Amino acid sequence: MAAPKKGRGPAGGQSRPGRALAIILIAMVALTGGMFWSGHTTPRLGIDLAGGTSITLKAKAEPGQESAVNETNMNTAVGIIERRVNGLGVSEAEVQTQGRENIIVNIPRGTNEKQAREQVGTTAQLYFRPVLTVADGAPPAAPSATPSGSASGTPSAKPSASSSTGASVGDKSATPTATATTQGRAVSEALKAPSPTPTATASSSAKPKPTGTPQATPSADDATAALQQKFATLNCLDPKQRAAAGQGVKPNEPTVACGEDNPGVWAKYLLGPAEVEGKDVDDAKGQFDQQRGMWIVTMDFTDEGSKKFQSITGKLSQQADPQNRFAIVLDGQVVSAPSVRQTLSASAEISGNFNQESAQDLGNILSYGALPLTFETQSVDTVTAALGGDQLEAGLIAGAIGLGLVIIYLVAYYRGLSLIAILSLGVSALLTYVIMALLGPAIGFALNLPAVCGAIVAIGITADSFIVYFERIRDELREGRTLRPAAERAWPRARRTILVSDFVSFLAAAVLFIVTVGKVQGFAFTLGLTTLLDIVVVFLFTKPIMTMLARTKFFGNGHPWSGLDPKRLGAKPPLRRTRRATAPAAADPKEA
Amino acid sequence: MSKLGDLGARLHRGEVGYDFIGNRKIWYGLSILITITAIVALAVRGLNMGIEFQGGAVFTTPKSEVSVSQAQEYAEEASGHDAIVQQLGNGSLRIQVGGLDTAQSDQVREELAKDMNVPEDKIAAELVGPSWGEQIATKAWTGLGIFMILVVIYLAIAFEWRMAIAALIALIHDLTITVGIYSLVGFEVTVGTVIGLLTILGYSLYDTVVVFDSLKEQTKDITKQTRFTYSELANRSINGTLVRSINTTVVALLPVAGLLFIGGGVLGAGMLNDISLSLFVGLAAGAYSSIFIATPLVADLKEREPAIKALKKRVLAKRASAAAKGEPLDAVDELSAEAAVVGPRAGRHGAQEHRG
């Protein structure tokens, strides 16, 4: 693929064309066998051909935070979006980054694409809200169970909380929540500093201050009553209500929300205004705590976040359960609600009954929420199965027609020689198909409409190579050579031309593939692939076949229908031919 | 057929041939004229940017009872924007509504389904935010820029910088013409168009590279002979590769024509059509420029080189003296049969003699 090098004699083997042919035959058999063995006998079809929805999102960097759009953050975002989409019961939805700032979400047809579309585009909003009330997420059977006082006043400012011993109670077994049976949680989570420092908490613990606490202000309000009502009737077992619960609420207003404590176990929360925002979290990750032998989630806050967090944890740690809890709310849903035992600031950890997955998950959520990554929907492409099928059909017909026209032209112009061209095109087509089919499971390649276009256009590129070679041979024949030396002499120079021009094509495809997104990329990929295959085919198939056929009578003697008839080609009279013919093999084919 | 083969032979021997280099001023003039027209058209008329570039939606409905004008009414009512409705080959309708954001277009789709009495999931929709096309375009420009730089470097190494420059100029020329034609005719510019345009990159250069390769070969030992000037050999290269250029262009155009035909014939409009249209225009321009622009430009640039200049002087001086002596002007007429056989191979014979 590099710059043309001075070949050492006729590559492809003037003497051993059989070897090259054997190599490509083995490769073809192996690839085809591999295709059948893998069970993927057809290329995976893109959304635009198979039907479905394809959504393109673009990350928008907030001013001053441009560096936030980076690979790590994009990958985290992909993980989150994947979770969201697949949480909708969509199977095989595919979320991937494209380029530096795009995320493509492909949702196969027949799924709830409308809901997916709504969910996918929205920005993840992460807030830390103080918990006012928790209740079993199940039916709103007993409205009385919700102590109205908890929201209207500042009830539980218990001095007892001032005891800093709470700091040591990080692990699950010792939590008072075990007794607070109202919320049906099997195991609770707790929030504390990574290294328990009781001294720190002691200082701020003395005075339980109701001032400025969110609960106090709206107490008399009608809104509170409405919220109470909402909380009372909320049924978290209903997915619809669940999804609607926390949507569209301003961060500075109290709200209701649902949370899944354990798989299938839902709780509902009445939450105060957001105290800390996702962007206040600097970093978070799920980690295994060697000492305690459990999974925890660690969080680091930004400077500003630390201040906010310190102030709110100071307040919360004074309260009794559940008001000492902190709900981590992502997109209106409570993902975790650890209790606070002490005042915390720059860093904290959440412990509870995490396993590796849930810990890392929460870590992801926290750090993702910490990013100023918002996404803008760039395009939504919904293709019905019928239209996709039509397009595929049209593409295939166009390809067949294109191929047919090329073959007709080649036959008309090159006669017998076109046999080689057609065989080569066939080999090329087979290889392209098989590789595309194999690339589906291997790298997630999906054949889309532009890729089909690319493959059709590539017919021309592939045929170009033969034309370059054939014309070279004919030029040599015109010089008065016989076919065998002509084919060998023509090859090194044709080879150089083919390599140089294919390199240019490949360069174009590669640059496009790297730089662009979406449809353009699919096209570029096919073009690059077929250009590479073109070289493989010309070197390992076309040239050796030519060498072999040159030994046959039909071609070698320049039968009128061979396309190599010296007379028709207007070769020079035999004067030169005799001179040349004496030393055909000696004629060094590599020069020029 | 045999005539073509014969023509090929005569072109190969240089018995016939068109003086591309000698008439280059005509072709430069023509190209400049086309380029100016293209630029003016672009400035005055602009491009007919498709939905992808202004935001909006394209809905493709299944075959239904609803007529085109009815559908247009429905769409305009539902969206409050102008709508363009086309009937496609298979009886379905293609409804374009501009100026919508993705959220709005969702609603329009819903309402359309209701109005037309077809299930919503049978309506294919392409909803595009206004900045999507911009993003594609930006990336395309970036890709174009990077490609041009890389290809110039590559050609400068594989050939020489003059050829790289000439190829680049020819490439820009092709792109300008293609864009100009889009502007003049008013074809819609879509993402498919951009894809097609970018493909021209590779193709336009493919042809050019084939001619350059021959040129490089012909002029390998040019300073060791006094029969031909660089321009004359360049002209021979063009003529010698003419059959190849025509063939490769025809063969490249055939599948594209298939695409265009199918795109237009079966599916009405769409990506297949968009890609193939811009490819078609660009390929034709690419073939033209590789023959009429790129190689003459190389000759022009080359003739400024001192060694080549000196060669030209020597060649002309030799011819003048031969003419003065009344010798036959076989070498002066660079297209004579004798010159044709020996001329281009002069270098190689020389090389063989050295070796032998």
Tell me what the mean pLDDT of segment B112-126 comes to.
81
Is residue A338 within 8 A of residue A317, CB to CB? The reply is no
Q: What is the pLDDT of residue A283?
A: 76
Kindly state whether A394 is in contact with chain B, defined as any CB-CB distance less than 8 angstroms. Answer: yes
User: A362 pLDDT exceeds 60?
Assistant: yes
- Chain A residues in contact with B62 by the CB 8 A cut-off are 384, 386
Identify which of A398, A391, A530, A383 has the alpha carbon closest to the alpha carbon of residue A458.
A530
Whether B154 sits inside 8 A of A395 (CB atoms) is no
Distance CA A131, CA A273 (A): 9
pLDDT class of A10 with cuts at 50, 70, 90: very low
Distance CA B70, CA B68 (A): 5
Is residue B113 within 8 A of residue B168, CB to CB? The reply is no
Nearest CA distance, A19 vs chain B (angstrom): 29
Q: What is the pLDDT of residue A575?
A: 41
What are B52's two structure tokens?
A: 């992808």
Whether A450 sits inside 8 A of B240 (CB atoms) is no
Whether B147 sits inside 8 A of A511 (CB atoms) is yes
Distance CA A297, CA A351 (A): 7
Distance CA A181, CA A176 (A): 10
Whether A413 sits inside 8 A of B4 (CB atoms) is yes
Residue B304 burial (C-beta neighbours within 10 Å; 0-12, 13-18, 19+): exposed
The minimal CB distance from A379 to the residues B106, B132, B213 is found for B132
Whether B129 sits inside 8 A of A379 (CB atoms) is yes
Q: What is the pLDDT of residue A164?
A: 33
Kindly state whether A127 is in contact with chain B, defined as any CB-CB distance less than 8 angstroms. Answer: no
Whether B146 sits inside 8 A of A515 (CB atoms) is yes
Cα-based distances in Å from A457 to A249, A449, A497, A509, B253: 52, 12, 20, 13, 9
Whether A515 sits inside 8 A of B143 (CB atoms) is yes
- Chain B residues in contact with A538 by the CB 8 A cut-off are none
The helix (run of H) or strand (run of E) holding residue A205 is helix A198-205
Please state the φ and ψ torsions of residue B7, each to the nearest 5 degrees. Answer: -60, -40
* Three-state SS at A123: coil
The helix (run of H) or strand (run of E) holding residue A95 is strand A94-98
- Chain B residues in contact with A379 by the CB 8 A cut-off are 52, 102, 126-129, 132
Residue located via tokens 């930006």: B138
Q: What is the pLDDT of residue A463?
A: 87
Whether B279 sits inside 8 A of A516 (CB atoms) is no
Q: What is the pLDDT of residue A397?
A: 85
Between CA A452 and CA A457, with CA A455 as vertex, the angle to 5 degrees is 110
* Three-state SS at B39: helix
Which residue on chain B is closest to A451 by alpha carbon?
B272
Nearest CA distance, A555 vs chain B (angstrom): 17
Per CATH, the homologous superfamily of domain A19-44+384-569 is Multidrug efflux transporter AcrB transmembrane domain (1.20.1640.10)
Q: What is the pLDDT of residue B29?
A: 92
**Distance from chain centroid for Cα A400:** 33
How large is the angle between the packed helices B130-158 and A518-537, nearest 10 degrees?
30
What are A407's two structure tokens?
A: 């073959």
The minimal CB distance from B201 to the residues A501, A508, A592 is found for A508
Whether B136 sits inside 8 A of A517 (CB atoms) is yes
Interface of A with B in 157-216 (CB under 8 A): none
Strand ranges (E), A315-474: 326-330, 333-336, 339-340, 347-354, 373-383
pLDDT class of A424 with cuts at 50, 70, 90: very high
Mutate to test the interface with B, among A403, A411, A501, A529 (most CBs of B within 10 A): A501
The minimal CB distance from A507 to the residues B150, B195, B243 is found for B150
Q: How many CB atoms lie within 10 A of CB A551?
A: 12
Q: How many CB atoms lie within 10 A of CB B89?
A: 13
Tell me what the mean pLDDT of segment A80-91 comes to.
64
Q: What is the pLDDT of residue A89?
A: 56
- Chain A residues in contact with B194 by the CB 8 A cut-off are 520
What are A351's two structure tokens?
A: 């412990």
Whether A464 sits inside 8 A of B201 (CB atoms) is no
One-letter amino acid of B81: H
Contact pairs from chain A to chain B, CB under 8 Å = 273
H helix runs in chain B, sequence order? 2-13, 24-44, 51-54, 68-79, 102-116, 130-158, 161-185, 191-218, 230-240, 242-265, 271-289, 295-302, 306-324, 337-342, 346-355
Whether A409 sits inside 8 A of B250 (CB atoms) is yes
Q: What is the pLDDT of residue B209?
A: 84
- Chain B residues in contact with A508 by the CB 8 A cut-off are 147, 151, 198-199, 201-202, 205
Cα-based distances in Å from B228 to A431, A508, B222, B316, B335: 46, 36, 8, 9, 11
Mutate to test the interface with A, among B212, B248, B279, B342 (most CBs of A within 10 A): B248
Residue located via tokens 């005719």: B185
Q: What is the pLDDT of residue A33?
A: 92
Identify which of A141, A182, A226, A139 has the alpha carbon closest to the alpha carbon of residue A325.
A182
The 10 Å CB-count burial string (b at 16+, else e) for A151-160 is: bbebbbbeee
Which residue on chain A is closest to B128 by alpha carbon?
A379
pLDDT class of A479 with cuts at 50, 70, 90: confident
- What residue spans define the domains of chain A? 19-44+384-569, 55-122, 128-138+236-375
Mutate to test the interface with B, among A111, A475, A506 (most CBs of B within 10 A): A475
The helix (run of H) or strand (run of E) holding residue A551 is none
Average pLDDT, chain B: 79
What are B220's two structure tokens?
A: 């390998």
Which residue on chain B is closest to A498 by alpha carbon?
B210
When the candidates are 3.20.20.370, 3.40.710.10, 3.30.70.3400, 3.40.50.300, the CATH number that belongs to A55-122 is 3.30.70.3400
What are A111's two structure tokens?
A: 């799924």
Tell me what the mean pLDDT of segment B220-246 comes to.
83
User: A25 pLDDT exceeds 60?
Assistant: yes
The string of DSSP letters for A291-335 reads TTTEEEEEEEE-HHHHHHHHHHHHHHTTSPTTTTBEEEEETTEEE
Which residue on chain B is closest to A56 by alpha carbon?
B132
Please state the φ and ψ torsions of residue B353, each to the nearest 5 degrees. Answer: -65, -40
* β B48-49/B188-189 pair status: parallel
Euclidean distance between the first and final Cα of chain A, in Å?
Answer: 20
Residue located via tokens 């008439």: B23
Which neighbouring-strand residues pair with B56?
B98, B128
* β A102-108/A52-61 pair status: antiparallel
Q: What ipTM does this complex have? A: 0.80
- Chain A residues in contact with B344 by the CB 8 A cut-off are none
Interface of A with B in 25-54 (CB under 8 A): 48
Greatest mean pLDDT among A574-578, B77-81, B215-219: B215-219
**Of A121-125, A266-270, A276-280, A459-463, the least confident:** A121-125
Q: What is the pLDDT of residues B295-331, one digit of tens each?
A: 889 888 888 888 888 888 888 888 888 888 776 554 4
Residue B188 burial (C-beta neighbours within 10 Å; 0-12, 13-18, 19+): buried
The minimal CB distance from B252 to the residues A460, A475, A478 is found for A460
Interface of A with B in 419-458 (CB under 8 A): 449-450, 452-454, 456-457
User: B2 pLDDT exceeds 60?
Assistant: no
- Chain B residues in contact with A493 by the CB 8 A cut-off are 217
Kindly state whether A532 is in contact with chain B, defined as any CB-CB distance less than 8 angstroms. Answer: no
Distance CA A152, CA A130 (A): 14
Query: Running DSSP on this structure, what letter comes out for residue A570?
Result: T
Tell which wins on pLDDT, B100 or A117: B100
Kindly state whether A509 is in contact with chain B, defined as any CB-CB distance less than 8 angstroms. Answer: yes
Distance CA A367, CA A74 (A): 12
Nearest CA distance, A493 vs chain B (angstrom): 9
* CB-side neighbour CA atoms (13 Å) of A272: 28
- Chain A residues in contact with B15 by the CB 8 A cut-off are none
Is residue A232 within 8 A of residue A226, CB to CB? The reply is no
Whether A384 sits inside 8 A of B348 (CB atoms) is no
A322 prior amide bond cis, ω within 30: yes
Which residues, other chains included, contact A232 with Cβ-Cβ below 8 Å and sequence gap of 6+?
A140, A143, A146
How large is the angle between the packed helices B191-218 and B271-289, nearest 10 degrees?
20
Q: How many CB atoms lie within 10 A of CB A534?
A: 26
One-letter amino acid of A581: A
Query: Running DSSP on this structure, what letter comes out for residue B164?
Result: H
Distance CA A145, CA A148 (A): 9
The 10 Å CB-count burial string (b at 16+, else e) for A113-133 is: beebbebbbbebbbbbbbbbb
Whether B158 sits inside 8 A of A383 (CB atoms) is no
Whether A382 sits inside 8 A of B203 (CB atoms) is no
Whether B136 sits inside 8 A of A516 (CB atoms) is yes
The minimal CB distance from A379 to the residues B127, B147, B252 is found for B127
Which residues, other chains included, contact B251 with Cβ-Cβ below 8 Å and sequence gap of 6+?
A406, A409, A410, A460, A463, A464, A467
CATH class given for the domain over A128-138+236-375:
alpha beta
Q: What is the pLDDT of residues A431-465, one digit of tens each?
A: 999 999 998 888 878 888 888 888 888 888 888 88
Nearest CA distance, B183 vs chain A (angstrom): 22
Whether B102 sits inside 8 A of A450 (CB atoms) is no
Q: What is the pLDDT of residues B261-293, one digit of tens each?
A: 776 666 655 677 788 888 888 888 888 888 888
Distance CA B165, CA B156 (A): 8
Strand ranges (E), A181-293: 190-192, 255-262, 265-271, 276-277, 281-289
Cα-based distances in Å from A569 to A414, A591, B244: 11, 24, 14
pLDDT class of B83 with cuts at 50, 70, 90: confident
- Chain A residues in contact with B247 by the CB 8 A cut-off are 413, 467, 471
What are A20's two structure tokens?
A: 């090259």
Tell which wins on pLDDT, A117 or B24: B24
Distance CA A483, CA A551 (A): 8
Distance CA A111, CA A559 (A): 62
The minimal CB distance from A56 to the residues B105, B132, B244 is found for B132
To the nearest 10°, the Cα dihedral for B51, B52, B53, B54? 40
Tell which wins on pLDDT, B2 or A163: B2
Which residues, other chains included, contact B354 with Cβ-Cβ below 8 Å and sequence gap of 6+?
none
To the nearest 10°, the Cα dihedral for A419, A422, A427, A429? -170
The minimal CB distance from B136 to the residues A395, A452, A520 is found for A520
> Domains in chain B and their CATH numbers?
14-48+132-311 (1.20.1640.10), 56-128 (3.30.70.3400)
